[in-house]
Amino acid sequence: MAVVVTDRFSNLLYWNPFAERLFGRPGTSGPRDRSLSLGIMEKDHPLAVELSKHVLKGGVWEGTFDVRRGDGTIIYVRAQAVPLRHPSGSVTGIVITAREAMRSNEREKDRFGLLERIGERLAGSLYVEETLKRVAEMLVPQFADHCFIELVEGDRLVRRVSTHVQGWSPPPDTWAPVGAEIRYPTGHYADIALRRQETILVEDFSQTSYPSPGEANTRLAAEIGMTSAIVAPLSVRGETLGLMYLGLSNLTDRRSPHYDAFDRDFVGAIATRVALAVDNALLFEEERHTAESFQKHLLPRALPQLDGLEIAVRYYPAAPLASHGQGIQTQVGGDWYDVIPLSAGRVGIVIGDVEGRGAKAAAVMGQLRAALRAFAQDDKPPAEILARLDEWTRIIATPEQDDSGADVSVPPIVTCQYLVYDAWSRQLSFANAGHAPPLLLIGETCTELDIHEVGQPLGVRAKGLPADLVYKEETRTLPPGAALLLYTDGLVDRRPLREAGGRTSGLEETLAVLCDKLVRIGDTSVEGIADAAIAAVPGEIDDDTALLVVRSAPENLDVQERTFPAQPIMVGEARRMASEAFADWNVPEERAELACLLVSEVVTNVVLHAASASVPRRELTMDGPPLAFDESWDIPGFEDEVVNEKEFTLRLRRGGESVWVEVFDQDLRLPRIRSAGENDEGGRGLYLVDQLARRWGSRPTKEGKAVWFEIPTKSR
């Protein structure tokens, strides 16, 4: 085997002894001779130059040259050329391996090698555009001067590829460009190929006559000297996917400017492989599109505008993955994030990951996200929300039974973290179901959020174990300007990246790299943090990744709060407090009056209906020895003290576009709207709140309940 190495300018850098014997060059030839001194005959010089350009662009070529040896003899030399690359990846030259080829089987071997390479390159193609591009790159210029590939889309034939020899492209308004609908006239050889479902050969255009697709088309074909063409239908599983058109012209100087029957059969074999690859790519893209549609429509379309909180989100599907006999897996999966507006400006923050990928994981994710949003509206503690979501995870498990009829349904495994943030108090409450702790960025420090209780993932809790023993609520205070980075494991669990020592980075090292990058970017926006987090971890994303960044406001938000005795006279005091606060906050007079009216209604409802029985029992401490049981309940004034403790708290909050009013009392009963009769004196207060407020609701608290409503400060 002859081995020849040239630089980018076709200067010989190296050849082995067999190359000297093959090309008939003496060993004394200097290594800087021009490559054309290999003896390539003059008629093949343009082909050699064209193919050199192809290889220098990173392509691979295999073919045959006529070579005149030093002693005057002419031989066929079969050669393969590949790019020579610098360690940086740039192409610095060409490596040629060559041997003598027999004339009788030169073309067969040439075509067989091309067919084999096309099969190899198509085997790794998952996308339609990539598949078609690879086919065109292999066929032009080695086998054709022009390559068109058209696919059927509905009832149309659309051009998807238009590739030509280097340095030439069809002028505008001549041959149809990529994306154009193609209509071949009846009787045209391409029309015949479609109707007959067979490969059609036009050996010599000068000897045949077919209907023309158009005057400009015919004129251009004459200008470039179209000599021959082959059109093959792309058919698979009884379905026609499109056409592949190959043509020869006078734009190149070839040994033979015409195709023959052997070439027709060869193109038919290529078309079979191309059709199968295109069909596989279409099936893969359809599955990917289905899963991506799930993901796109099941994740939040737009994030709400929240006071005291900046938010940025990202979702990145993984690269396609062929794994252990399971075929090509789609990129999307069950990762999700969510931001849920709650009562009085509070916000629920969610990050979760369903095990697996594809449409099934995305469907499970959609059900869990919808369920969590519904549970969150009850304003229950995060631990209770996760406990309910755990039960729902078991409910949606695919029903399965063993041979005895027993239920063996296996719930999906889901990690999830649910947080509730109050921007006015800066209090962050959360519960964790097996999910990675978020990263906390404060100034120039980046650490994992300290979580003491990490519960089990949803769906794996042992039967009989109460959920409230698994998920625990914790509370932290988020400092002004602090940021939280919540993420799924796809961010840090990249495809193995080998380091210089052959070692794969571990999770702790990856987190250290991530934190270091986040600290270096300094006080940037949440969007900048999200982008930096994705770019910081080396390696290719192996699993889909959801990422959510929240940052607390550096300044405190306006809030006023006061506790009143639960007496009718205090209704006016509460209204006065609200009126003064709204005036200080420059709330428009019309909105302020409306809010004060609803304050009166809610406070009146509390004063009339709150029950003293809901007051928490106070701890009784007494000096001296314990009293007898029957005497311990006879404490003078104790009952009066409890009764007089009936009270309520009015809390007012101002946001950018709304004000929130909360009224807290010690009655555990949640209010409901009543249908008041025509002559009833009461029963209309909450109806007014429901009709006039943008939103309203109630939630249980540790001491009783809170009734809240929202009034926009701008025109609706």
**pLDDT-wise least confident of 309-323, 460-474, 476-490, 605-619:** 605-619
Task: Taking residues 269-291, report their average pLDDT.
Answer: 81
Q: What angle do CA 127, 128, 130 make, to 5 degrees?
A: 65
Distances (CA, A) of 528 to 24, 349, 458: 64, 20, 32
Under the banding of pLDDT at 50, 70 and 90, the label for residue 1 is confident
Identity of the residue numbered 19: A
Asked if residue 423 has pLDDT above 90, the reply is yes
Listed ranges 43-57, 87-101, 261-275, 545-559; the one with the highest mean pLDDT: 545-559
pLDDT of residue 613: 42
Q: pLDDT at residue 558 above 80? A: yes
Residue located via tokens 């270096």: 520
The tens digit of pLDDT for each residue in 228-246 reads 999 999 998 888 899 999 9
Helices vs strands, H then E, count in the chain: 16, 28
Task: Determine phi and psi for 467, rounding to 5 degrees.
Answer: -65, -30
Instruction: Tell me the pLDDT tens digit for each residue of 329-374.
Output: 455 678 889 999 999 899 999 999 998 777 778 788 889 999 999 9
Task: Answer for the pair 552, 479: CB distance below 8 angstroms, yes or no.
Answer: yes
pLDDT band at 614 (very low <50, low <70, confident <90, very high): very low
Residue 322: pLDDT band with limits 50, 70, 90:
very low
* pLDDT(102) > 60: no
Confidence at residue 615, expressed as pLDDT on a 0 to 100 scale: 47
CA dihedral of 32, 34, 37, 41, whole degrees rounded to 10: 160
Q: Which superfamily does CATH assign the domain made up of 559-612+644-712 to?
A: Histidine kinase-like ATPase, C-terminal domain (3.30.565.10)
With CA atoms as reference, report the closest residue to 617 among 580, 568, 666.
666
Query: Which is more confidently placed, 643 or 215?
Result: 215
Instruction: Tokens for 303, please give them.
Output: 């994030």
Query: Residue range 505-509: average pLDDT?
Result: 74
Structure confidence at residue 247 (pLDDT): 94
Q: Using pLDDT thresholds of 50, 70 and 90, give the confidence band for residue 327.
A: very low
- Secondary-structure breakdown of the chain: helix, strand, coil percentages, each rounded to the nearest 5: 35, 30, 40
Beta bridge partners of 156: 153
Rounded to whole angstroms, how far apart are CA atoms 529 and 428? 20
State pLDDT tens for residues 25-71.
644 444 444 544 677 777 677 777 777 888 888 888 777 777 877 66
Whether residue 565 has pLDDT greater than 70 = yes
Domain 299-399+409-461+469-496+503-552 has CATH 3.20.20.60: no
* Whole-angstrom distance, CA of residue 31 vs CA of residue 246: 40
Rounded Cα distance, 654 and 555, in Å: 13
β-sheet bridge partners, residue 162: 148
User: Rounded CA gap, 363 and 561, in Å?
Assistant: 44
C-alpha to C-alpha distance for 355 and 437, rounded to whole angstroms: 18
Q: Tokens 């004196």 label which residue?
A: 681
Cα atoms in the 13 Å half-sphere on the side-chain side of 496? 6
- Who contacts 712 (Cβ-Cβ below 8 Å, separation ≥6)? 591, 657, 658, 694
Q: Does domain 107-286 have CATH number 2.160.10.10?
A: no
pLDDT of 330 reads 52
Handedness of CA 325, 330, 332, 334 (dihedral sign): negative
pLDDT band for position 474 (cuts 50, 70, 90): very high
Range with the poorest average pLDDT among 199-203, 471-475, 612-616, 623-627: 612-616
Say whether pLDDT at 575 is over 70.
Answer: yes
- Which among 607, 546, 540 has a CA at the least distance from the CA of 573? 607
pLDDT given for residue 285 in this prediction: 76
Express as a percent the part of the chain with pLDDT over 90.
35
Q: Where are the beta strands (DSSP E) in 492-573?
A: 545-552, 559-565
| pLDDT top residue among 318 and 440 | 440
Average pLDDT, the chain: 81
pLDDT at 496 over 60: no
Question: How far is CA 499 from its chain centroid?
Answer: 27
pLDDT value at position 325? 36
State both tokens at 466. Answer: 């109460």
CATH 3.30.450.20 is held by the domain 2-101: yes
Q: What per-residue confidence (pLDDT) applies to 638?
A: 47
Domain ranges of the chain: 2-101, 107-286, 299-399+409-461+469-496+503-552, 559-612+644-712
Structure confidence at residue 8 as a pLDDT band (50, 70, 90): confident
Tell me the Ramachandran region of residue 500: left when phi exceeds 0, alpha when psi lies from -120 to 50, beta otherwise. alpha
pLDDT tens digits, 335-347: 889 999 999 899 9
Q: What is the pLDDT, as a whole number, of residue 319? A: 61
